[in-house]
A and B are shown apart, each in its own frame.
Chain A
Amino acid sequence: MFPSIRTLLRKGSGSRRRAVVLTWPVLALLLVLPLWWGTLGLPGEVPAGEEGETELDRLRRETRTLRLETELASRVGPYLVADLQEKTLSLKLEGVILREFPVLDMFVRTRRSAGRPGGWPLPMDTIWSGGRLLPEVQRRREVIYSDSVTPPDPSGTVATIPPTPEEAVPTPPSFRVRFLEKRSLAVTTRPRALPEEGEDGGGPSPWSRMTHWVRGKPWRRDLVRLDVTMAEEEAGALYRALPPGIPMLVVGPGPKTGPGAPGA
């Protein structure tokens, strides 16, 4: 179908030959590029089948989760609990729920290896440690020197009103919490007013997917990533609430853990 290089070189003039020599490597590169992206760049879904799970397996998993949560609850400072089965994200402190963030969608993915899920250690029922917010929240600390303060103006001049949290720290369209061992929680916002995108109504359009993927290029370094889609308000609240170094417990499929869970 396509003319071979030899045929083209035999038939063509000088400029044509040069064009051939340049075109074929470019075409080859164009062919190889998507394959390279496909094998190295994209995370694959992490499997976590509940089917075939025995009672013993389930109890082991639940017990391990409870052990980990007990360990987190004994630490100082808040922690996140992401439940893949319930698709919930909670902020807790010492075992107590501080806030639950409604999640529109939640996926766990691993980096692909030769086009297939990489067989990286499963992220469920483990503690992801040392969470670092990206982009970082910038908070400027104002310094007042006592000798530079002037007494209040008797005329009643109104002091400057500081910004609201939303004004001071606007919600980025997407952000992530990068944990140790190349794990990330990636949060994408979706305005509450907008209907769900995509032909099946259940996910973003291919174009959004493409732009999101391009924007998230640095994430390719992650081995495991928890992708979460949230309403803009909720994502903003999470973004402003997370302290540096926060750990996260990722709970795999199965009944919800913690006090009051089924089977408690």
Chain B
Amino acid sequence: MAPGYVPALTGALALCAFLGWTMLRGQDRTGTLHESPSVASRPAEPGGSPVATPDSGEVARELATLRKEQRALRGSLQSLAPRGPYVVVDRGNNRIYLRKGDSILLEAPASTGSGTELIETVGEKRRWIFDTPGGRFKVLAERPDPIWTKPDWAFLESGEPIPTKLSERKEYGSLGEYALDLGDGYMIHGTLYERLLGRSVTHGCVRVGREALREIARRTGPGSQVFIY
């Protein structure tokens, strides 16, 4: 390249670098948000009275109305919150929490549904999906030393024939020391396989380690709220 172009090219590149740097510097700042014309020019919200020259009586009335509405709305939100300790299950991360208000009383690994689908190829051709359901639940019953009555899928899954006698379905000790019944066959219970805690291995129930289960059972009871997400 001819020497005459070097300063031109260098200058152009320097300008580009400066503009790029300015641009990036301007993009990121301390997080303090600044007032700008776009805010000032924002129209008042529908139903809102103009702030510029309000009549003092009108303002006082609106303030009183807003305060009243706020109290009602806060009361409505507060009524949704459980009064006592409540259980939160995080399916995506296989964790269980015992919370009370804003504080966390306990956090422990748990196991939730494996997501496996079981298809019965003969007979009734039923299908099961082993997911832990999400939503808001209530502890219907708290059972110490629970006995598991194995459903049909438990036999199909292990390649065993489905028994005809109820007594052959009973299994002792596999649910740990406590079972918190959430309805529809779903429970929070203990496990014999604590090494699998933190992994998605269950058929929809929530498995918890022995110590965590004791604490949860001690602080909750029938009627306690359980949130699964």
Q: Which residues of A are in contact with B by a Cβ distance under 8 Å?
A: 1-3, 8, 12, 16, 19, 23, 27, 30-31, 33-35, 37-38, 42-43, 45-49, 51-52, 54-57, 59-60, 62-64, 66-67, 69-70, 73, 76-78, 84, 87, 91, 93-99, 105-109, 117-120, 122, 139, 141-152, 161-165, 168-169, 202-204, 206, 209-210, 213, 237, 240-243, 253, 258-261, 264
Of B24, B42, B158, the residue contacting A210 (CB under 8 A) is B24
Inter-chain contacts of A19 with B (CB < 8 A): 1-2, 5
Residues of A within 8 A of B88 (CB): 98-99
Query: Which B residues are CB-close (under 8 A) to A202?
Result: 30
- Count of B interface residues, CB-CB < 8 Å: 91
B7 within 8 A of partner (CB):
yes
Given A19-B5, A56-B63, A259-B74, A142:B33 Cβ within 8 A: no
With A38-B23, A122-B39, A162-B199 already in contact, 13 other A-B pairs whose C-beta atoms are closer than 8 Å: A2-B7, A42-B23, A42-B27, A48-B39, A49-B35, A63-B73, A73-B80, A93-B135, A94-B227, A148-B121, A161-B196, A162-B201, A243-B229
Q: Is the CB of A240 within 8 A of B93?
A: yes
With A42-B27, A47-B33, A144-B118 known as contacts, the answer to whether A31 contacts B12 (CB < 8 A) is yes
How many angstroms between the C-alpha atoms of A62 and B66 in the bound complex? 9
Number of A-B contacts (CB under 8 A): 240
Complex CA–CA separation, A118 to B37 (angstroms): 10
Check if B9 sits within 8 Å of A23, measured CB to CB.
Answer: yes
Contacts of A51 in B (CB 8 A): 35
Contact assessment for B93 and A165 in the assembled complex, using a CB-CB cutoff below 8 Å: yes
Inter-chain contact A49/B39, CB cutoff 8 Å: yes
A36 CB to nearest B CB, Å: 10
Are B33's CB and A84's CB within 8 A? yes
| Residue of chain A at shortest CB distance from B47 | A60
Q: Is the CB of A240 within 8 A of B92?
A: yes
Given the known interface contacts A19-B2, A45-B34, A66-B73, the answer about A213 and B7 at a Cβ–Cβ threshold of 8 Å is no
Contact A16–B33 (Cβ < 8 Å): no
Residues of B within 8 A of A (CB): 1-2, 4-5, 7-9, 11-13, 15-16, 19-31, 33-39, 41-42, 45, 48, 51, 54, 59, 62-63, 66-67, 69-70, 73-74, 76-78, 80-82, 86, 88, 90-94, 97, 99, 101-102, 114-122, 129, 134-136, 156-160, 195-196, 198-201, 225, 227, 229
27 CB < 8 A contacts A-B = A19-B2, A23-B8, A27-B12, A34-B20, A34-B23, A38-B22, A45-B34, A48-B39, A56-B62, A60-B66, A63-B66, A69-B77, A93-B135, A93-B227, A96-B80, A99-B88, A99-B97, A108-B33, A122-B39, A146-B118, A146-B121, A146-B122, A146-B156, A152-B159, A169-B92, A209-B28, A259-B78
Give the residues in chain A near B27, CB-CB below 8 Å: 42-43, 109, 209, 213
Return chain B residues, CB-CB under 8 Å to A146: 118-122, 156-157, 159
Find out whether the CB atom of A163 lies under 8 angstroms from the CB atom of B199. yes
List A contacts of B16 (CB < 8 A). 30-31, 33-34
**Complex formed: what's the CA distance from A62 to B39 in Å?**
17
Chain B: CB-nearest residue to A33: B16
Provide the residues of chain B in CB contact with A260, threshold 8 Å: 78, 101-102
Question: Which partner residue on chain B sits nearest A55 by CB separation?
Answer: B63
With A42-B27, A145-B119, A210-B24: A60-B48 Cβ-Cβ less than 8 Å? yes
Contact A241–B90 (Cβ < 8 Å): yes
Whether the Cβ atoms of B82 and A96 lie closer than 8 Å is yes
Residues of A within 8 A of B116 (CB): 141-144
Residue of A with least CB distance to B155? A146
* Pairwise interchain contact A95-B156, C-beta atoms closer than 8 A: no
Q: Determine the distance from Cα of A47 to Cα of B114 in the docked complex, in whole angstroms.
A: 46
Q: How far is the CA of A264 from the CA of B75 in the complex (A)?
A: 9
- Chain B positions within 8 Å of A150 at CB level: 159
A241 & B39 in contact (Cβ 8 Å cutoff): no
Query: Contacts of A165 on B, CB cut-off 8 Å?
Result: 92-94, 198-200
List the B side residues contacting A147 at CB < 8 Å: 121-122
Per the bound structure, the CA–CA distance linking A162 and B7 in Å amounts to 63
Count chain A CB atoms within 10 A of each CB in B22, B38, B101 and give the residue with the most: B38
Flag if B69 contacts A49 (CB, 8 Å): no
Complex CA distance for A243 and B91, rounded to whole angstroms: 11
Taking a contact as CB atoms closer than 8 A, the residue among A38, A59, A118, A209 that contacts B63 in the complex is A59
Closest B-chain residue to A100, C-beta based? B102
Task: Specify the chain A residue showing the minimal Cβ separation from B25.
Answer: A206
Q: Report B-chain residues with C-beta under 8 Å of the C-beta of A67.
A: 73
